[in-house]
A = this chain, B = another copy of it.
């Protein structure tokens, strides 16, 4: 043994927080009127109590413990109590359909479920379908168990009140021990599970602290808007504990107004969420400005940000706004649109063009954009499929035949179509299935959408393929106007605007005005739904 064979374990994060960051704070909203304030010392104590309580209920190594909850301190306690005890934290996406929720709980074989009181109505109707769950534990500030329509429901706080805070986490775990799992929606069929390990989460957390990455630090006040039931909340809760950042957890309410209030009140420095969130926040900030001088970085992921959104934060508010790429399968951090030194000399427009890419691949991760000729040239034009490998990239779907569709030759094939800029930045142009192939040429619906969304009268836009006799597929623009332009907006002004930016073959054949773009549970445009809704649409000639 040349070097000590110290395993990479989440337990070390808790120990570190307890020793060095005990006085730092976690703020946790559990209702519109309640914000809890606990120190890391109390947090670690409660986490030990939770582990003790769960162990008394029968939690053992390898057992799956599900959470069905918003972003708050109790969820954060489960984030560590379960894996540090050697069990597996299954973060269930509350926005799945009831059928899919039952499926993922049964497929993971969750034996204990931790459920927010306000989410019980989503679980109660499917209780009879759950095959493995032995204990339902309800999280909330004032649980009246007799009113909870779940069998033998237990109160989280009552369990903690009786538990010991000197619970000792095991010190003999292997770093490849499963620690967490999430399911991701599939194009067809049931969700697919991904299992994270202590090692993968530790390494992922370290990257989040790098100066050239998100640079999470003890000096930060972090507010993850991204849900803790979605891809580890992009790793923020884990990195937050490791580095001792102040955490602000927004609970079940995250309207633009409430988020901006939290940013201002707690002097938030770092936040993360999907573009839909930031569109709303930007609009609210324009109408009712708050003091956002503490905010040093907004991290956006999940889907591409329209240029107008990035400009809104960077130019109007001088807040750096970076885009990241990630998936449930990738823990999720793969790339970030941070700048390289030579970009200091870029014009502002060039800088914004960097910001809207999915960015530069982070250390320890490899990405390749490949087509039938191998890796594509870094020309910003040649498209290929994004493939990824690295120590926090899934190697398989959990007990799932579909593993072989996505994992080949040691690489994850993402199904995302991308180009690579001359600087090596990934730019997602489309999902394979969303690409429009018109007359043998690929048309990027994402680029058309971004252009449409930068139009001053447009709030949101999605571009889908519609069948076409001659060209096989043609683009159709589905546009949600801003409320004040609902009456005055015209198809022709939108199409004229596009004509100035794209080759004529790219111009959508028509524009449909909608009240909203249907979205997936994680806020991505649900193009399959749009295509279904508009499947009989024909362009009027």
Contact = CB atoms under 8 A, between A and B. Distances in A.
Interface of A: 1-6, 8, 12, 15-16, 19-20, 23-24, 176, 178, 194-197, 199-200, 202-203, 206-207, 209-212, 215-219, 242-244, 340-342, 360-361, 363-364, 366, 389-396, 398, 410, 412, 423-424
Contacts of A178: 2
Counted per complex, copies of this chain come to 2
Contacts of A19: 424
Contact of A390 (B6, B244, B342): B6
A3 B199 contact: yes
Contact of A209 (B210, B243, B244, B412): B210
Contacts of A15: 366
16 contacts: A2-B195, A2-B196, A2-B200, A3-B196, A3-B199, A3-B392, A3-B393, A5-B176, A20-B360, A24-B341, A206-B210, A206-B364, A211-B215, A212-B219, A212-B243, A244-B340
Most-contacted residue by chain B among A6, A20, A390 (CB, 10 A): A6
Contacts of A6: 364, 389-391, 393
A410 B172 CA distance: 13
Contacts of A217: 211-212
Contact of A8 (B16, B364, B410): B364
B364 A197 contact: no
A2 to B, nearest CB: 4
B206 A3 contact: no
A426 B411 CA distance: 44
A33 B478 CA distance: 67
Contact of A211 (B211, B363, B391, B395): B211
A16 B195 CA distance: 27
B1 A396 contact: yes
Nearest to A177: B2
A69 B389 CA distance: 37
B12 A364 contact: yes
Contacts of A366: 12, 15
A424 B22 CA distance: 11
B212 A210 contact: no
A247 to B, nearest CB: 14
Nearest to A209: B210
A197 B12 CA distance: 21
Nearest to A367: B19
